Amino acid sequence: MKYTNLMGDVFIVSAILLVSWYGVMRLIQLGPAPDAQPFNGVMHSVPFIGTAVFAFEGIALIIPIRESMKEPDKFPWVMRVMIIFMFALLAGFGFICYLAWGSTVPSVALNAPDWSPFLCVLQCGYIIAGFCGYPLLALPTFGVVENLLFASMPFST
């Protein structure tokens, strides 16, 4: 499962990097969006909060990752480093996209209408990433079902 999960991660990071690259190119060519403001008020922060919560949708993968680690005692350190890395990556990504598109940036960047050459490739990459992450996500369920169905059978190696 580590190879399929790694492949899915590569697709997701590639999509983030491609959209960021497109945003930086847009910033270089057109400058910041005219309606981009440092703080748009409390009511405009609600979509931000929803999107921030959406960023942690993969939290269910934490237990299977810890259980499959060779050295699970290093998990807290790895978790801290990855949360800091993901925060920096997603905050930078959001900052670039908001500066490039202003208030017209959609809460899901893959729904941006004005960069269609990349859109199909990125959306297909996210579909593949979803399929690649499914086996790891289903691992705890398979373990519980396996214990229920085969508890009375002898263990074989």
Copy the structure tokens of residue 69.
Answer: 């680690």
Q: Regarding predicted confidence, which is higher, 126 or 21?
A: 21
Average pLDDT in the 117-132 region? 77
11 φ, ψ to 5°? -65, -40
Mean pLDDT for 133-139 is 71
Contact, 65 vs 142, CB < 8 A? no
Non-local CB neighbours of 20 within 8 Å, separated by 6+ positions: 92, 93, 96, 97
Question: Which residues have a Cβ under 8 Å from the Cβ of 68 and sit 6 or more positions away?
Answer: 1, 2, 139
Residue pLDDT, tens place only, 89-116: 878 888 888 888 887 777 676 666 565 6
Are 32 and 99 in contact by the 8 Å Cβ rule? The answer is yes
Give the model confidence (pLDDT) of 11-60 as tens digits.
888 888 888 888 898 899 988 888 877 766 666 667 667 767 776 776 76
Q: Answer whether 121's CB lies under 8 Å from 54's CB.
A: no
Question: Taking the model in full, what pTM does it have?
Answer: 0.63
